[in-house]
Structure 1
Amino acid sequence: MYDLEVTQRHSMQSVIEAEICDLVTEFRTEIKSSNGTLTIRTTFILSVLNVLWCMIAGVRYAHDDPKLVKMLEKNFGMTKAQTFIDPVHSFPFLKKVFPKFLKTDYVSKVFEESHQYSQSLINERKMEGAYLQEPQNYIDCFLKKIEESKNDAKSVYTTENLQMMIEDFMQTGSTTSVGTLNYGVLFLTLNPKVQQRCQAEIDAVVPRHLVPTLDDIEKMPYFQATILETHRLGNIVPIPIPRVAPTNWTLRGYTIPKDTIIISNHYSVHMDEEYWGDPKTFRPDRFINDKGEFVQDKHVCQFGFGKRYCIGVTLTNSVIPIYIATLLQNFNFSVLPGTSPPTTDPELGVSLSPQEFSVHVTARP
């Protein structure tokens, strides 16, 4: 149901543009008051949540709006809870062996609160009634599908599934996008020649007073390669949610029985020395062919595979390139004078993200 291209590409662009312009203003204010020092950790979270929320519910909030702050609290709560339930997804027996360590009561409380919150949002859109004639956002589109398939007992369009989709968007969509943005700033800081080459390409395509669009970015092969290399080396989701074999099947001579839990390892694919040669090196040129064109590589699987690939792919593919391109258009990022370069070792959690780090930021002339 990707009526979600739904909220139309130009509409998404306008929301992202408004958010990144606000973020650029915040950066300018921050570096002016801190002598150019910027600490990167939760820098992007409110902005990304706002874009996500506009896509889901058609609303954009001020960054100090209580509703946005509440969403942030739910996001952190769900992320923390997910840290404890992820092992159970892969190894269900752990729930019985380590109930206290896995904080079963805490997890249940967080998810019950999240269910109540998502239900209240659905109720608001139902009461407004726009979904019946002109759906305005993801919730509206899903509600319309529920209405259209209400006589189909096998329909996947149910209120329960809509609730789960909203909660998945809130957690995975924002967490992975923020982690990737943080890695983008980190890798560009540590690789000034890559940063300068990206800036030159952006300047050649987009006038300085305009925010880059997705159409603009399609004309920037090296920048696209840089974004893909950020996904590869960042390894935001090294081990995605497990799958289950729906039937008995055979793969390369191995028999996989029905209902077998299958765990894929994206990290091993992204860091395969035999394929990449130098997997620990940040090298966007690996995705540029002899003609200077950007070449997508199926071995970069940051969104997973098949019908159940990452639900946040639309958000990530829109937010990441536009945010990073706009930041490079306006700022230079470098290691803080007199300090060691920040580490690329990740902070472990539901997804990987850089450890908190500080950079020196200057406005470009």
Structure 2
Amino acid sequence: MLTISQAFVVLIIFLLIVEFFKLRKACKQFPPGPAPLPLLGNLVHLNFQFHRDLLMELAKTHGNIYTLWFGWTPVIILNGYQAVKDGMTTHPEDVSGRMVSPFFRAMAKGKGIILASGRSWKQQRRFGIMTLRNLGMGKKGLEYRVQEEASHLVEFFVNLKGRPVDPSFPLFHSISNVICALVFGYHFSDEDKTFHELIRVTENLFRFAGSFVHQLYEIVPWLMCHLPGPHKKALSCYDVLSSFAKKEIRRHVERGIPNKPQDFIDFYLAEMEKSKDGVKPKYDEDNLVYVINDLFLGGSETASTTLYWGLLYMVVNPDIQEKVQKEIDTVLSPSQLICYEDRRKLPYTNAVVHEIQRFSNIVFVGMPRVCVRDTILLGFPVKKGTIVMPNIASVLYDPEQWDTPRQFNPGHFLDKDGNFIPREAFLPFSAGHRVCLGEHLARTELFIFFANLLRAFTFQLPEGVTKISTEPILGGTLQPHPYRICAIPR
């Protein structure tokens, strides 16, 4: 006779075997991929983390469209330029849904823009794009704000007089102030305690995203929500952002909506007033809170991290830094205000900015999409509700599209005569209906900030420092290891 404990072990083994065969049967409905394990799916194959190189390695075995399982949840991975482009743009409406995983559902309730789906997402995104345009996106008005923040950043480095500094905070502060001016109607000083708190919680959120505990939460949310750990800290960090957004909304309501709205919150409150008599208002304060969070996180983290990588690459490649400076000196006068339009006269500088984005590849896997209807992806029938994930890193490092994909090489964006050439495989902002709504703003910021910094300074390692890491730290975005540099006035 078996003891109770032995019977329990036998039962567990039997259930795992049953689960294994059920998974094998389910796999036949999806593109091929590594065989999943019960409960864990393919997390063992991924070493319990999402790594860009590992995803590309799996494509060599299973093809440029394959399936990974997270527990009982299948995720279709698109790998390489052609697969990502075709998958995201052949039937863009079909793959326009957003996967709201257990952690992100707990965080943002499926509201806002980034983590919303369906009609609500379309309404909020359309309103966001329209309002940002009303506030100057794509026009000289917004470009002036970028130029103003770039000049403040230059002044910050001037005041250091060549002393070593980690440029992470000043870059985040300056970039963030552009979106803050648009959303809140004012700038933060670099000593503002509230702003330092917002930076702290933003860093914690991005550090948690993609971690082992994050993956565990997505598999067993019913257990994790009752346990302490970094997931609780991440959710509390998001609550800090939400509390700040609510405080700003109250400030605007108490001030009253001006006849001519001055910032994003003004426009949104005015729209709320218009739609309040509807059966189901399209715009409400809850959505506004999450839209504000999306704009702050998306408008601060990605561009500042890209510039953080950019300064690192200039220190590692002083010859490229020198060529940028020579081009700027030749084309622009020292006192001339740098405009986004100047990129046409500065092809090498423009190429370097694009190569920084390509090579740093900070959002290496695009935000997961969900099929909103039955569709066809690269010849495979895919059912409504299936999660699709574009591997953006595999596009930006595709050996069929780039001569030296694993090297920092501005020549990827230049023809033989030194003219700038756009590349179809340059997709750091993703593709299809979910393309980044702040793409134009980010492009403007990156060019104007980078050109201003390289015109004013030569960046180099502090005295006595001979090595600097260019390996990324895994997280919500790929961050450089913290470093210190000296900005030597030219």
Answer whether TM exceeds 0.5 for this pair. yes
Amino acid in the other structure paired with 2:176:
L
Specify which of 198, 201, 206 is matched with residue 71 of structure 1.
198
Note the residue ranges of structure 1 that are not aligned, 5 or more in a row.
Answer: none
Query: Any conservation in 2 of the 1:176–1:236 contact (CA below 8 Å)?
Result: yes
**In structure 2, how many angstroms separate the alpha carbons of the residues matched to 1:154 and 1:218?**
47
In 2, Cα distance between the equivalents of 1:85 and 1:10?
Answer: 44
Partners of 1:50 and 1:234 in 2: CA distance: 23
- 2:414 paired with 1:288: yes
Corresponding residue for 2:73?
Answer: none
Q: Is the 8 A contact 2:202 2:237 kept in 1?
A: no
Cα-Cα RMSD = 2.7
User: 8 Å contact 1:273–1:279 — kept in the other structure?
Assistant: yes
In 2, the alpha carbon distance for the partners of 1:296 and 1:271 equals: 16
Q: Give the counterpart letter for 1:6 in structure 2.
A: N
Evaluate the alpha carbon distance shift between residue 81 and residue 360 of structure 1 in structure 2; reply closer, same or farther with a 3 A threshold.
Answer: closer
Shift of 1:336: 4.4
What does residue 287 of structure 2 align with? 161
Provide the rounded CA distance (Å) in 2 between the counterparts of 1:212 and 1:96: 53
Taking the aligned partners of 1:57 and 1:86, their CA distance within structure 2 comes to 34
Aligned to 1:12: 142
Deviation at 1:108, TM superposition (A): 3.5
- Residue in structure 1 matched with residue 156 of structure 2 by the alignment: 26
Distance 1:93 1:350, change over 3 A: same
**Pair 1:317-2:443 in alignment:** yes
Q: How many residues align?
A: 359
Match of 2:487 in 1: 361
Task: Tell me how far 1:156 sits from its aligned partner.
Answer: 4.4
Q: Indicate conservation of the 8 Å contact 2:150/2:449, yes or no.
A: yes
Can you list the C-alpha shifts for 1:70-91, whole angstroms capped at 9, x where unaligned? Answer: 4334433543554569945x98
Select the structure of larger CA radius of gyration: 2
Identify the residue that residue 196 of structure 1 maps to in structure 2: 322
Corresponding position of 1:140: 266
User: Shift of the alpha carbon at 1:126?
Assistant: 2.6
Matches within 5 A, 1:1-365: 1=127, 2=129, 3-8=131-136, 9-32=139-162, 34=163, 37-80=164-207, 82=209, 87=214, 92-96=218-222, 100=227, 103-130=230-257, 133-153=259-279, 156-290=282-416, 292-336=418-462, 338-364=464-490
Residues 214-263 of structure 1, C-alpha deviations (whole Å, 9 max, x = no match): 12233222211111111100011001221111001112221111101111
Aligned residues of 1:81 and 1:106 also touching (Cα < 8 A): no
| Structure 1 length-normalised TM | 0.88
Q: Distance in 1 between matches of 2:200 and 2:217?
A: 28
Q: Deviations over 1:260-288 (max 9, x none)?
A: 11111111111122321311111112112
For 2:165, what is the secondary structure of its paired residue? strand
Letter matched to residue 114 of structure 1? L
Question: 8 Å contact 1:78–1:171 — kept in the other structure?
Answer: no
The separation in 1 between residues aligned to 2:356 and 2:178, in whole angstroms, is 21
Cα 1:13/1:275, change in 2 over 3 Å: closer
Shift of 1:25: 2.1
Structure 1 residues 61 and 336 mapped into 2: Cα distance closer, same or farther (>3 Å)? closer
For 2:277 and 2:208, the matched residues in 1 are separated by 36
Q: CA deviation at 1:347?
A: 1.6
2:149 alignment partner AA: E
Paired residue secondary structure (1:263): strand
Could you tell me which residue of structure 1 aligns to residue 50 of structure 2? none
In structure 1, what residue type is equivalent to 2:240? E
> What SS does the corresponding residue of 1:130 show, helix, strand or coil?
coil
**Structure 2 length-normalised TM:** 0.67
